[in-house]
Amino acid sequence: MLCCQAALHLRQTVLGLRLGLPPGLRSYSSDAEQTHNVAILGGGITGLASAYYLTKELPNVRVTIYEASDRIGGWLSSKRVPVKDGTVLFEAGPRTLRPNGNGVLSAKLLQELDLAKDAIFAQNTSPAARNRYVYYPDHLVRMPHPSVGIADNLWSLFTEPVFSGTPWGIVSEFFKPQRDPSVQDESVGDFFSRRIGRNAVDRLLSGVLHGIYAGDAWQLSAKSLFPVQWRDEAETGGIMAGVVKMQADGRRVTKHEGDFLLEAKKFRWDPLLKATLKDNTAFTLKDGLQGLVDGLARHLFAKGNVEFKTSSPVSSVKLTRAGIEVTAQGSEQSKSYRHAISALSPSHLNQVAKDPSSDSNVASLVPIIPSVTVMTVNLYYRTPDLHLPGFGYLIPQATPFESNPERALGVVFDSAYSPSPRDLDLANWQITDTQLLQQAREKGQLINVNDFAWYNMPDRPNAQDDVKERGTKLTVMLGGHWWNEWPSFPDEQQGLALAKSVLQRHLNITEEPEAYQVNVQEDCIPQYTVGHEDRLKKAHNKIWNEYKGRLRVAGNWMSGVGVNDCLRSAWDVVRSIRDGRDGTGLEQVGTTSAAWGGSEGGGARYDVVDGDVYIEEDIKSTATRSIACGPWYMYVARESVMALVQARLRHVEFEEQRAAAGTMETSHPANPCTATISSPLQRTRTVPSIDDFKAVR
Ligand SMILES: C=Cc1c2[nH]c(c1C)Cc1[nH]c(c(CCC(=O)O)c1C)Cc1[nH]c(c(C)c1CCC(=O)O)Cc1[nH]c(c(C)c1C=C)C2
């Protein structure tokens, strides 16, 4: 073990020397007083992002990343495999990132880590963005899209069994009764079948949930997955009424979200990257999303104040007087830190949080949050265009067994995200003068070349596959909730056979793949099942009681299962440590998803109902002033800025009144949403100053 550590240290030093870093950056700061040492448990994307944000926000931080396996990056794993005329790239896990919402963080990383030059951007006009299919009951059905035209969309809506009952269900939703207020949560299936109709769930929505959670619509929580619709039913009478209200009043944002957006707005975007991201639906990297992991790791190595301990599973984390003590398996000594950030799954965290020396049967730190196993089978065929142009297709729960005996969840057409040699050939471009093109892009005028955009032009545009002639690249997704009770999972050959059988039945593909890769990702997607929010609140209380703010949690089990959500939870945790706020990483639970009462609700949130504060691009024509807020452009009407300031003032006033009254429902870390604590108030939130808002004007 010691030998490994020495080797690691040596590797880091050599890497530092190779990168030509000044000596000061190669070693830890010697000033112990100034440093803030933090342990990160888990070297997946959440752990790496936490380390990244820590080093960015706390210059004197020292970080140690503990990772059980011998590689970092977790589920993000891209491999290049040989084929007859070159190599193709296979992704075992996530393959693309969206730049909107929390995705502003991944878009920022492109700039901060100098990864934009390696990126491939798929445009809104690309087949990947326009064409999505659902397989029901025995054929592919294209989902409605404006590019198809009204007549074709209507024809499909009224003739395809997949839509049966749904258009009427949406119209009549206005007249459906509200739920009983005593209902605290229900499944997505129950919620939407009550509001819109059962077919909408079984034939459509369950497919979408397969594509994100690989989960069961009848188990997943409506309150956690559809917080806006859940709230709208309670507040405005229904989902559609909520949509109408939002159109009229503008989008409401919680304080937490508002702060995030304000922060995003401060970012100084490289104009060329911004122009390239414009009208972009998703992006990836030439070496796959593994490139993001490598970019983060490179950056952290170069920083010199981050230590990677791979093959070092953590065995315990204990609260001590001085901070928090972390022990790794195989290491005799435990190390003390001021904070620890757990980027482990809840079950792993429970294992390490148990005190091995105590016999007491303490209830686990985090209540059980189930997860599913997904098998991804990547296949590459010599023949091109073996599928329709598009993103791929999802298979809903109602698809009859005889149409899907393999119980596949969906198929991704990876070729759609991967430019072909034809796309790279300048002769096929709409504009061939690359200088003109770059000038236009710098002005944000034109970024679209054959449905892809590249930042690195006029250099040779990036592609993932290095082949002379393009073939067809696909990924079959299997498992998820269908495998929940299975005692064991199919092996590699069985997985391959299942995938080939799906493709033969659905796409008529009979040829043998030239290359394939079977990946089993055990327990990779946490399931936010009914009651999820309550479980998170319990976890928050327990973690706070046991670790008093020394241990924070981040990851995909709290507020979103995607890569962008992992980045966001890492960002949130680091910000709260940086600002000296108490917390666990779960203190926001319920503030974004529970029913909003504006200033009458939990007091922990505010909304801006007087004006359309955040207006997204689709209605930008109504905005009197535009503020570029990340790549997706955020437009703020001038009056709205005033509304924001006024709302903020009202909120502050409101809090003062509550304080004077002596009680307050609070986001105090010991109880995020439910407790009423008495004065003196313990404010744990950072309230942005009015100047922050004035600065917007
Ligand atoms: C690899 C399996 C995954 C499945 N879901 C996720 C992964 C990584 C997580 C996920 N997938 C999507 C989202 C929504 C946000 C977004 O980035 O778009 C999340 C959180 C959407 C999505 N689903 C599929 C793809 C290719 C994408 C785009 C993002 C990505 O690359 O992951 C296809 C797909 N994913 C899963 C299934 C069963 C499936 C079927 C076609 C499970």
For the stretch 475-485, pLDDT in tens is 999 999 999 98
When divided into structural domains, the chain yields a total of 3
Residue 560 lies in a domain: yes
Nearest CA to ligand 1 atom 28: 96
570 with 545, same domain? yes
Beta pairing partners, 133: 142, 393
480 with 519, same domain? yes
Q: Which of 548, 578, 608 is the last residue of a domain?
A: 578
Choose the residue to mutate in 212, 292, 406 for probing ligand 1, maximizing ligand atoms within 8 Å of C-beta: 212
- CATH no. for residue 41? 3.50.50.60
Residue 213 lies in a domain: no
Q: Which of 612, 691, 588, 600 is nearest to 650 (CA)?
A: 600
- What would the two tokens of residue 51 be? 């380390």
What are the Cα distances from residue 221, in Å, to 215, 243, 284? 11, 21, 30
Instruction: Look at residue 439 in the predicted model and tell me its pLDDT.
Output: 73
ipTM over 0.90: yes
- The average pLDDT across 245-253 equals 77
Q: Tell me the C-alpha distance between 239 and 246, whole Å.
A: 11
Residue 609 lies in a domain: yes
Distance 175 CA to ligand 1 centre (A): 34
Q: Tell me the C-alpha distance between 68 and 679, whole Å.
A: 45
507 with 444, same domain? yes
Atom index in ligand 1 nearest the CA of residue 560 equals 20
Contact 520, 495 (CB under 8 A): yes
Least confident stretch, 71-85, 246-260, 386-400, 640-654: 640-654
Distance 26 CA to ligand 1 centre (A): 38
Nearest CA to ligand 1 atom 18: 98
Categorize the per-residue pLDDT at 278 as very low, low, confident or very high, splitting at 50, 70 and 90: confident
Q: Tell me the C-alpha distance between 187 and 192, whole Å.
A: 9
Beta pairing partners, 339: 38
388 with 423, same domain? yes
Is a pLDDT exceeding 60 seen at residue 625?
no
Percent of the chain with pLDDT over 70: 75
Distance 562 CA to ligand 1 centre (A): 8
Please provide residue 517's backbone torsions phi and psi, each rounded to the nearest 5 degrees: -150, 130
N- to C-terminal Cα separation, the chain: 57
Greatest mean pLDDT among 3-7, 145-149, 629-633: 145-149
63 with 86, same domain? no
Distance 679 CA to ligand 1 centre (A): 46
Distance 25 CA to ligand 1 centre (A): 38
> How would DSSP label each residue in 638-688?
HHHHHHHHHHHHHHHHHHHHHHHHTEEE---TT-SSS-EEESSP---SPPP
Instruction: Look at residue 312 in the predicted model and tell me its pLDDT.
Output: 95
- The average pLDDT across 383-390 equals 94
- What would the two tokens of residue 184 be? 């605290």
What are the Cα distances from residue 596, in Å, to 183, 278, 530, 536, 616? 16, 32, 20, 18, 21
* Exposure string over 306-334, b if 16+ CB within 10 A, otherwise e: bbbbebbbbbbbbbeeebbbbbbeebeeb
Atom index in ligand 1 nearest the CA of residue 103 equals 17
Mean pLDDT of the chain: 80
Instruction: Look at residue 690 in the predicted model and tell me its pLDDT.
Output: 37
560 with 458, same domain? no
Nearest CA to ligand 1 atom 39: 211
Residue 253 lies in a domain: no
Neighbours of 600 (CB within 10 A): 8
Name which residue leads in pLDDT, 259 or 521: 521
Q: Tell me the C-alpha distance between 516 and 364, whole Å.
A: 41
Distance 381 CA to ligand 1 centre (A): 22
Categorize the per-residue pLDDT at 258 as very low, low, confident or very high, splitting at 50, 70 and 90: confident
Sign of CA dihedral 128, 130, 135, 140: negative
Per-residue pLDDT tens digits for 399-455: 999 999 999 999 999 988 888 887 777 666 666 666 776 776 666 655 555 678 888
Neighbours of 675 (CB within 10 A): 13
Residue 489 lies in a domain: yes
52 with 117, same domain? no
Distance 526 CA to ligand 1 centre (A): 13
Distance 167 CA to ligand 1 centre (A): 26
Nearest CA to ligand 1 atom 20: 562
Q: Tell me the C-alpha distance between 600 and 378, whole Å.
A: 51
Residue 556 lies in a domain: yes
Distance 329 CA to ligand 1 centre (A): 34
Which strand ranges, in their side-by-side order, compose the sheet holding 36-41?
306-309, 61-66, 36-41, 339-342, 551-553
Instruction: Answer left, alpha or beta for residue 499, where phi above 0 means left and psi between -120 and 50 means alpha.
Output: alpha
Nearest CA to ligand 1 atom 1: 93
Nearest CA to ligand 1 atom 6: 212
Instruction: Look at residue 696 in the predicted model and tell me its pLDDT.
Output: 33
Instruction: Look at residue 358 in the predicted model and tell me its pLDDT.
Output: 60
Going by their DSSP bridges, the two strands 472-479 and 408-413 should be labelled as antiparallel
Categorize the per-residue pLDDT at 255 as very low, low, confident or very high, splitting at 50, 70 and 90: confident
62 with 90, same domain? no
- The average pLDDT across 56-71 equals 95
Distance 689 CA to ligand 1 centre (A): 38
Distance 524 CA to ligand 1 centre (A): 12
Q: Tell me the C-alpha distance between 38 and 407, whole Å.
A: 44
Instruction: Look at residue 441 in the predicted model and tell me its pLDDT.
Output: 66
- The average pLDDT across 281-308 equals 96
Per-residue pLDDT tens digits for 93-131: 999 999 988 999 999 999 999 999 999 998 888 888 889
574 with 519, same domain? no
Per-residue pLDDT tens digits for 68-83: 999 999 999 999 999 9
Nearest CA to ligand 1 atom 13: 212
Atom index in ligand 1 nearest the CA of residue 374 equals 2
Is a pLDDT exceeding 50 seen at residue 608?
no
557 with 689, same domain? no
Atom index in ligand 1 nearest the CA of residue 98 equals 17
Neighbours of 610 (CB within 10 A): 16
> How would DSSP label each residue in 358-373?
----PPPSS----EEE
Helix axes 290-303, 45-57, angle to 10 degrees: 40
68 with 114, same domain? no
- What would the two tokens of residue 361 be? 């049967």
Neighbours of 184 (CB within 10 A): 10
Percent of the chain with pLDDT over 90: 61
337 with 463, same domain? no
Q: Tell me the C-alpha distance between 671 and 583, whole Å.
A: 10
Name which residue leads in pLDDT, 237 or 696: 237
What are the Cα distances from residue 59, in Å, to 24, 62, 373? 13, 9, 39
- CATH no. for residue 125? 3.90.660.20
- The average pLDDT across 352-377 equals 81
Q: Which of 472, 449, 476, 470 is nearest to 460 (CA)?
A: 449
Residue 381 lies in a domain: yes
Beta pairing partners, 221: 187
Residue 568 lies in a domain: yes
- What would the two tokens of residue 236 be? 């405005």
Nearest CA to ligand 1 atom 40: 410
Distance 98 CA to ligand 1 centre (A): 11
Choose the residue to mutate in 46, 372, 412, 482 for probing ligand 1, maximizing ligand atoms within 8 Å of C-beta: 412
Name which residue leads in pLDDT, 431 or 208: 208
Four-point Cα dihedral 212, 215, 218, 221, nearest 10: -60
Tallying the residues shown for the chain, one arrives at 697
Lining ligand 1 with CB less than 6 A are: 93-96, 98, 210-212, 214, 374, 376, 392, 394, 409-412, 477, 561-562
Atom index in ligand 1 nearest the CA of residue 563 equals 20
- What would the two tokens of residue 263 be? 């922060």
What's the domain range around 624? Answer: 597-694
